[in-house]
Amino acid sequence: MLATIEFDSIKTRLIIIIAVCLLGMLVLVGNQIYNSNRLIILNTQSKQLLNLSNELLQLRRHEKDFLLRLEPKYVEQFKDRADSFSQKINQIQPVFAKLGDTDPLFDELSFSFAQYRSQFFSLVTLQTQIGLDENSGFQGRFREATHSLEKQLQRLNQTDLQVLLLQMRRSEKDFLLRKHMDYVERETLIYQQLSLAISQSNQLNVQQQQSLLNTYQHSFLQLVKAYQTIGLDHTLGLQGQFREQAHTLEAQLTSVNNQLAVLITDAEEQVERISLLIMTITSLALIILLIKSYITFQRAFLNFVMFFYRCKREYQHMDGKKLGFSEFKYLATIANEMIDARCDIERQLQAAHKHIAELEKVNDDSIKAQ
């Protein structure tokens, strides 16, 4: 009974209303803080993905700089940038693992990048074998051999052989410039003619000339084979493979970024839904409490008005069960006690008047008897 009275009191009702307001605000603020932090993390990861895309563009730039200029410094820059790219993937992967099922995407991304990196360094190795300039690798060897052969032919005044040598070198230059296998076939044909012409000459240094020519041809064919492995254009060989691998990397980064964008959109919608739900529940609770309190107040005041109206004429007790709030019930109890006290006083007053009237009658009778 005490618990019911305390719950039905105005004080308790006001405390409940305040508590509902505070609880709703606290839950709303907590939801905003939690989801805001989550959105901050998501946007941070989005920026890191953007940085990864920029890193990939830088890698492609170093790759193309090396292919264009054949300078080792671009390989070092590529290596440093590739190490940074791998570290960033390893750093953001655990964060993404907490946000959603992105492990397969990152596994594919890591594998594709490892393939791209490996293919580029394979290309660098082959290009180094070919020669980073005209004096190194296969180019340096066949250039040195052909220069020695050219000097001997000039010294011995072997004009016909010199013409064949120049034609052979022209085919070599055409291949290096245009990367067409037709020039290799033409160079091979001229090589055979030159080799036959040298063997039929009557010079004492035929074997030396033949050795220089064979060295030239062997180095040139090794160069051709290396270029075929690298790719005679950007769509073939290693060039085509790591170019395709780079495009795959870009597509995978885009896929991860799209999935992250979906997570960000879902998180934003979740914030809106939860915030709306909290505000709706809080508003409904407050509306119900206020309406119920208003009805209880209205009923209690109507009962008090009727009580005082009837009390003036009928001395009727007030029914405390109809008042709602315990404070009003307490007032009703006091009012009922006042009515009972007034009724007792009036009864005592009537009894006193009756007793006085009886005494006056006795006195009157005594006076008459005398």
Q: What is the pLDDT of residues 218-276, one digit of tens each?
A: 999 999 999 999 888 888 888 888 888 888 888 888 887 887 777 778 877 887 888 88
Average pLDDT over residues 301-308: 63
Q: What value does the mean pLDDT take over residues 104-117?
A: 83
What region does 108 belong to: left with phi over 0, alpha with psi -120 to 50, or beta? alpha
Residue range 287-291: mean pLDDT, rounded: 83
- Euclidean distance between CA atoms 34 and 210, whole angstroms: 81
- pLDDT at site 171: 93
From residue 30, alpha-carbon distances to 16, 39, 105, 270 in Å are: 20, 14, 32, 14
Tell me what the mean pLDDT of segment 271-283 comes to.
Answer: 84
The pLDDT value recorded for residue 99 is 59
Contact 74, 41 (CB under 8 A): no
Q: Average pLDDT of 84-107?
A: 74
Q: How many CA atoms lie within 13 A of 247 on its CB side?
A: 6
C-alpha atoms less than 13 angstroms from C-alpha of 364 in its C-beta half-sphere: 6
Phi, psi (rounded to 5 degrees) for 166: -65, -40
3-state secondary structure of 225: helix
Token pair of 294 as six digits = 């208003």
CATH code of the domain occupying 2-131+237-279? 1.20.120
d(CA 268, CA 35): 8
| 324: confidence class by pLDDT, cuts 50, 70, 90 | low
Q: Does the pLDDT at position 198 exceed 90?
A: no
CA 217, 219, 224, 225 dihedral sign is: positive
pLDDT the model gives residue 3: 41
Q: Residue 5: its pLDDT value, please?
A: 42
Residue 111's contacts (CB-CB under 8 Å, 6 or more residues apart) are none
Decide: pTM greater than 0.85.
no
- The better pLDDT of the pair 188, 50 is held by 188
DSSP 24: H
Give residue 360's pLDDT. Answer: 76
Highest mean pLDDT out of 80-84, 321-325, 344-348: 80-84
Confidence of residue 175 (pLDDT cuts 50, 70, 90): very high
pLDDT tier for residue 370 given thresholds of 50, 70 and 90: low
Q: Which has more confidence, 59 or 267?
A: 59
pLDDT classification of 2: cutoffs 50, 70, 90: very low
Q: Is the pLDDT of residue 164 over 80?
A: yes
Q: What is the mean pLDDT of residues 28-53?
A: 78
- Please report the pLDDT score of residue 316 as a whole number: 57
- The more confidently predicted of residues 180 and 13 is 180
More confident residue, 121 or 5: 121
Mean pLDDT score of the chain: 81
pLDDT classification of 102: cutoffs 50, 70, 90? low
Parse the chain into domains and list their residue ranges. Answer: 2-131+237-279, 137-230, 315-369
Query: Comparing 102-106, 109-113, 196-200, 345-349, which segment has the lowest mean pLDDT?
Result: 102-106
